[in-house]
Amino acid sequence: MRRALDIADDVRAGRVTATEIVERCLTGLRAGNDRLCAVTHILEDRARADAAKVDIAIAAGRDPGPLAGVPYGVKDLFDVAGRPTTAGSALYADAAPAQTDAEAIRRLRDAGAVLVATLNMDEFAYGFATINARHGTTRNPHDPDRLAGGSSGGSAAIVAAGLLPFALGSDTNGSIRVPASLTGVYGVKPTHGDLPMAGVFPFAESFDDIGPFATSVADIRCIHSVLQGASPTNAEDRKVRVAQLGGRFLENADLDLRAAIIEIAPDGAVLELPDIARARSAAFLITAYEGGTLHRAALAANAMMFGPATRDRLIAGTLIPRSLYDAAQEFRLSFKAMVTDLVAEYDILLGPATPCVAPLVEDPRILIDGVMKPARSDLGIHTQPISFTGLPSLSVPLRRPGRLPLGLQLIGRPNGESTLFQFAAMLEAKGVIGTSPPPDYRGPDYRGPSYRGIET
């Protein structure tokens, strides 16, 4: 699948129709999903109808928008008119269908994009692995024996496999940045509260955000602007001040990540944010409390309809005293103020998005502080403290063809996404970052060489 803006240019110029693009896309999704387990539902009738509207607009001389005819998918917690919003759970499989689309989907439709699929996720977005009791485990297209990450794993994997040019996910504690890093695509968590959450099934409202996955800086910048409801803006034409995140952010980081950070900002100050472990613990507590509170009634009425891992974590959240939650929120305010003051003179902070490459599905653990820890909870070790601050963060893939992906976080000032995109575009032009196609992804029938031999 080509990049989103290239597809839109061809559709607007009449070199190809939106209908042709969608038909090719649907064929690819049907052929490729068996191996990936990334798609939960293909919206064939809707996609064909929306593509036809784009073609009619072009035939009438109207511009259908910057994403004309571009197919995309959404994590299975966005409202899609006519379908139940399940948030990846069997509990809501037979719920009443949504009456309207989520606001983000509406904005994308107005920009000419064509929704073709809903995508797999950790149940209720509670996890970093996309191991779903109902739909199965999403596989990494760079090595199907490995996880794609989560909780927006289906969205990341489908883009990394080239089956869709972009997709939407949600990010509470790293659920966009983690799978973007593990699958080698771009993913942005915006400034908290900046993109529309209407019609998105919540997890923990203190941290919940939505954002896109894409395969180029230009694509993700355009999609972000459409979701924001504004034209893309350029950052000020001045030298960008960059600092490295040290301390806890490097203690469990792959050596290639460390080297990339030094290469990108060799003269940048090294900042060590204090109380990172405490911030992450407080984020866990707030997330668990808000998730448990949200699902308390459903757990009491029908706990066995929840997946086992999700059920246990949500039940634990219902047991947290309100006083502890309030204390965690109070600490969050002081932590955000401290971080804001500490980084005030910098435009971008550099850090790892994940500590390592994607772990194996059969052994979903990663090495943290010398101990093997569950990937489902600890892949977000470097993203969770950033969510705690509400700052925007763009996960960018290091350029490493033939090797398993690794991603960096470019962390900006509040509402500083334009600077993040500008800096990322410079790194992309220099060849420091960029997507690489999976080594030999050919769909569900391919039985080529094992991916276990890939250098990690």
Q: Residue 143 and residue 420: Cα distance in Å, rounded?
A: 29
Residue position matching structure tokens 């309207």:
100
Among the listed residues 151, 155, 170, 393, the single catalytic one is 151
418 catalytic? Reply is no
Residues 6+ away with beta carbon under 8 Å from 412: 347, 348, 349, 391, 392, 393, 394, 419, 420
- The residue among 380, 339, 368 whose CA lies nearest residue 243 is 339
Is residue 373 part of the annotated active site? The answer reads no
Residues 6+ apart with CB under 8 A from 27: none
Annotated catalytic residue 175: yes
Q: Of 75, 155, 377, 393, which one is the catalytic site residue?
A: 75
Helices (H), 265-343: 276-302, 308-318, 322-342
DSSP annotation string for 24-66: HHHHHHHHHHHHH--EEEE-HHHHHHHHHHHHHHHHTT----T
As a whole number of angstroms, the distance between CA 435 and CA 364 comes to 24
Element (H, E) at 221: helix 217-228
Q: Which of 89, 152, 155, 175 is catalytic?
A: 175
Residue type, 74: V
Say how many C-beta atoms besides its own lie within 10 A of residue 192's C-beta.
19
Q: Which residues are catalytic?
A: 75, 151, 175
